[in-house]
């Protein structure tokens, strides 16, 4: 998992999951694409991070070591 310095990333990921269900990561990817097309690197990186976070939050499989 990537280091996440801002709790708002979780809030935005949760909002997209609530609004778009299984398609939430696709919505985040679309927002990242729009930001990239506009030349907004900061928002592009932010939405890509949210996209990866959504995938991690909605994945039912175990990742990493269990203790």
pTM: 0.86
In-domain check, residue 41 = yes
Q: Quickly count helices (H) and strands (E) in the chain.
A: 3, 0
In-domain check, residue 3 = no
In-domain check, residue 30 = yes
Rounded to the nearest angstrom, the gap between the alpha carbon of residue 61 and the centroid of all alpha carbons in its chain is 17
Q: Which residues contact 32 (CB under 8 A, 6 or more apart)?
A: 43, 44, 47, 48, 51
In-domain check, residue 2 = no
Range of the structural domain that residue 40 is part of: 8-13+20-57
pLDDT digits (tens, 9 = 90+) for 44-63: 999 999 999 999 999 888 77
CA distances for 1 relative to 31, 37, 54, angstroms = 21, 27, 11
In-domain check, residue 1 = no
- Whether the Cβ atoms of residue 40 and residue 66 lie closer than 8 Å to each other: no
In-domain check, residue 62 = no
pLDDT tens digit at each of 67 positions of the chain: 567 878 999 999 999 999 999 999 999 999 999 999 999 999 999 999 999 999 999 988 877 776 7
């Amino acid at each position: 998992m990537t280091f996440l310095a801002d709790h708002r990333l979780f809030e935005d990921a949760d909002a997209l999951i609530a609004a778009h269900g299984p398609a939430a990561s696709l919505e985040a990817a679309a927002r990242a694409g729009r930001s990239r097309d506009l030349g907004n690197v900061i928002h592009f990186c932010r939405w890509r991070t949210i996209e990866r976070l959504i995938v991690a939050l909605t994945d039912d499989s175990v990742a990493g070591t269990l203790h």
